[in-house]
Amino acid sequence: MTGNFIFMSNIFEIRELGVCKKVQVEVKTAFTCYELKVGEEMQNLNLPLNYILFVSEGAVDLSCNEFKNRKFEAGEMVLMLRSSSVRAKVLKKAKLHVFYFDTFMSSCDRQLFKAYLPDVEKITYDFSPVPVPNAILQFLEQILCFQKDRVDCVHFNSLKHQEFFILLRHYCSKEDIVSLLAPLICRSLDFRTRVLDKYMLLENGRVSELADLVGMGRKTFDKRFREEFGTSPAKWMQEEKAKRLHIFLAEPGITISDAMDKFHFNSQAHFNRFCHQYFNASPGALIKRTDDINIY
């Protein structure tokens, strides 16, 4: 693998924000900005919050869950949901603004975007780039100027969070808003979020354990899961494991033992069978040429 490999926490980490001494506010939202060189590569197997990535300069190659190697250029933005597996490579010297948040802070936003649900149900979400209005680019640059002057606290970021969604509604077309926020507007987002969050806590990868963590009976969970994901929990969990393994093996210096421990393979033979099934390659060959392997 060429270029400098970075764990994505340096771009997608949750920053420590200042708070008023007498008022402690728990708000998981903030804006950050990074300038990156050509060839730098980043990944995160489990994004801690929802992220909107804005490319103000340059270009990046971005993969998020099943969406692979999408190119995003200056003037484009995209949403990445909490718990997503993400991998990025800088194609052209880039300036990236990042906005992370847990959920819509304003009840007004929640109600307004919920009204777009019928439009969301008419489209097939495909992780496509959405144009960033000039007013929002200027808004992001203004935040950066404030941060350089140390105007950057929990309350400031909370206000800017709400201001961003006001600008989004005002300057973006309804079609672009639906395209960008479709996963968040989806009626079953809460169920999806619980599944993705709890999946990362599994010890042995059993469907029954995932159902327990989500807080549902096995039969109810299976039925709801098939309705939402269009496949069985067992099949989805195996495919999700393959996707996350594929990203993990791309890290420099990773060994077969590291992967077996990380993904709970109880024997070398089990690991070999899994890699041949999903990647048509042995673990050793897969580590050497991960970039050229496609998940089935």
13 lies in the same domain as 74: yes
208 lies in the same domain as 104: no
Q: How far apart are CA 283 and CA 58, in angstroms?
A: 35
282 lies in the same domain as 162: no
170 lies in the same domain as 48: yes
- pLDDT, the chain, mean: 84
The three-state secondary structure class of 162 is: helix
178 lies in the same domain as 196: no
Predicted pLDDT of residue 78: 97
N- to C-terminal Cα separation, the chain: 22
223 lies in the same domain as 237: no
Answer yes or no: pTM beyond 0.95: no
178 lies in the same domain as 194: no
19 lies in the same domain as 162: yes
- Length, in residues, of the chain: 296
151 lies in the same domain as 24: yes
Question: Looking at the 3D structure of the chain, how many domains does it have?
Answer: 3
168 lies in the same domain as 83: yes
135 lies in the same domain as 193: no
- End position of a domain, from candidates 172, 201, 227: 227
- End position of a domain, from candidates 185, 212, 239: 185
178-194 pLDDT, tens per residue?
A: 999 998 887 555 677 77
- Find the mean pLDDT for residues 260-270: 86
104-163 pLDDT, tens per residue?
A: 888 788 788 888 888 888 888 999 999 999 999 999 999 999 999 998 888 899 999 999
What's the domain range around 238? 231-296
- Find the mean pLDDT for residues 49-55: 94
- The CATH code of the domain that includes 26 is 2.60.120.10
Predicted pLDDT of residue 59: 97
115 lies in the same domain as 217: no
